Structure 1
Amino acid sequence: MESTWLVLLSLALGLGVGAGFVLLLHVAERHGRRASEVVNPAVPDGIDQVLDALETAGVVLDPSNNVIKTSPGALTLGLVWHQQLVHPELLELARQVRQTGEPISEDLVLSRGPFGDASMRFRVRLARLGTRYVLLLAEDRTEAFRLDEVRRDFVANISHELKTPIASVGLLAEALDKAADEPEQVRRFANRLTTESARLGRMTQEIIELSRLQAQDALAEPENLSVDDIVAAAVDQSRVVAEAERITIVIGKKSGARVFGDEALLTVAVHNLVANAVNYSLEGSRVGVGVRLQKGIVEITVTDQGVGIAEADLDRVFERFFRVDQARSRHTGGTGLGLSIVKHVVQNHGGDIRVWSQPGSGSTFTIRLPEAAEPIIEPRPNKPRPVARAAAGDTL
Structure 2
Amino acid sequence: MQSTWLVLLSLALGLGVGAGFVVLLQMAEHHGRRATEVVNPVVPDGIDQVLDALESAGIVLDPSNNVVKTSAAALTMGLVFNAQLVHTELVELARRVRRTGEPISEDLVLSRGPFNDASLHYRVRLARLGTRYVLILAEDRTESFRLDEVRRDFVANISHELKTPIASVGLLAEALDQAADEPAQVRRFANRLTTESARLGRLTQEIIELSRLQAKDALATPERLNVDEVVAAAVDQSRVVAEAENITIAVGKKSGAFVYGDEKLLIVAVHNLVSNAVNYSQPGSRVGIGVRRQKNVVEITVTDQGIGIAESDIDRVFERFFRVDQARSRHTGGTGLGLSIVKHVVQNHGGDIRVWSQPGRGSTFTIRLPEAAKPEVNQGGASVPHNAQR
The residue number in structure 2 matching 1:347 is: 347
- The structure-2 alpha-carbon separation of the partners of 1:221 and 1:78, relative to structure 1 and needing over 3 Å to count, comes to farther
Residue in structure 2 matched with residue 231 of structure 1 by the alignment:
231
Q: Residues 25 and 373 (structure 1 numbering): CA distance in 2 closer, same or farther, change over 3 Å?
A: farther
Unpaired runs of at least 5, structure 1: 383-396
State the identity %.
Answer: 84
Matched residues in 1 for 2:35 and 2:135: separation?
Answer: 22
The equivalent of 2:318 in structure 1 is: 318
Deviation string 1:54-106 (CA, Å, 9 cap, x unpaired) is 11111111111111111122122111111111111111001100000000111
Which residue of structure 2 aligns with residue 38 of structure 1? 38
Shift of 1:22: 4.9
CA distance in 2: counterparts of 1:242 and 1:227, whole angstroms: 22
Q: In 2, Cα distance between the equivalents of 1:60 and 1:312? A: 45
After superposing the two structures, state which structure 1 stretch, 31-40 or 265-274, moved more: 31-40
1:288 is matched with 288
Matches of 1:237 and 1:70, distance apart in 2: 60
Secondary structure of 2:234's partner? helix
Residue of structure 1 in register with 2:122 after alignment: 122
State the one-letter code of the partner of 1:323. R
Structure 1 residue 141: Cα displacement = 1.3
Show CA shifts across 1:285-326 (max 9, x none): 221222334444433221101111222322322222222222
Cα drift, residue 157 of structure 1:
1.1
Residue 214 of structure 2 corresponds to residue 221 of structure 1: no
Deviations 1:232-286 (A, max 9, x none): 3222222222233232222333444444433322221111111100111122222
- 1:173-229 CA deviation, whole Å, 9 max, x = no partner? 222222223322222222211111111100000011112222333233334444333
Question: Per-residue deviation at 1:347?
Answer: 2.7
**Structure 2 partner of 1:194:** 194
Cα 1:7–1:175 shift into 2, 3 Å = same
Specify the SS of the correspondent of 1:380. Answer: coil
Distance 2:340 2:125 in 1: 38
The secondary structure found in structure 2 opposite 1:287 is strand
Q: Quick check: 1:250–1:288 contact (8 Å CA) kept in 2?
A: yes
Distance change >3 Å, CA 84–CA 260, structure 1 → 2: farther
Q: What's the Cα RMSD here?
A: 2.6
Residue 157 of structure 2 corresponds to which residue in structure 1?
A: 157
Matched, 1:269 2:269: yes
Contact 1:123/1:141 (CA < 8 Å) preserved in 2? yes
Could you tell me which residue of structure 2 aligns to residue 94 of structure 1?
A: 94
Alignment correspondent of 2:64 = 64
For 1:52, the equivalent position in structure 2 comes to 52
Letter in 1 for 2:135: L
**Alpha-carbon distance between aligned partners in 1 of 2:15 and 2:256, rounded to the nearest angstrom:** 100
Q: Distance in 2 between matches of 1:303 and 1:333?
A: 21
Question: 2: distance between equivalents of 1:282 and 1:250?
Answer: 15
Aligned residues: 382
Deviation at 1:350, TM superposition (A): 3.4
- Take 1:188 and 1:196, find their aligned partners in 2: how far apart are those partners? 13
Structure 2 Cα separation of the partners of residues 378 and 31 of structure 1: 83
Conservation of the 8 A alpha-carbon contact between 1:224 and 1:375: no
For residues 51 and 16 of structure 1, the distance between their equivalents in structure 2, rounded to whole angstroms, comes to: 52
Quickly say closer, same or farther: Cα 1:35–1:294, change in 2 above 3 A.
farther
Q: Give 1:303's aligned residue.
A: 303
Whichever residue aligns with residue 198 of structure 2, its letter is A
Q: Secondary structure at the match of 1:124?
A: strand
User: What SS does structure 2 have at the residue aligned with 1:316?
Assistant: coil
For the residues of structure 1 that align with 2:377 and 2:82, how far apart are their CA atoms?
Answer: 58
* 1:134 Cα offset (Å): 0.6
Give unmatched runs, 5+ long, in structure 2: 383-390
Q: In structure 2, what residue type is equivalent to 1:334?
A: G
Q: Deviation string for 1:89-128 (max 9, x for gaps)?
A: 1110011000000001111111111122222111111110
1:17-28 map, 5 Å:
21-28=21-28
* 1:389 aligned partner: none
Partner of 1:376 in structure 2? 376
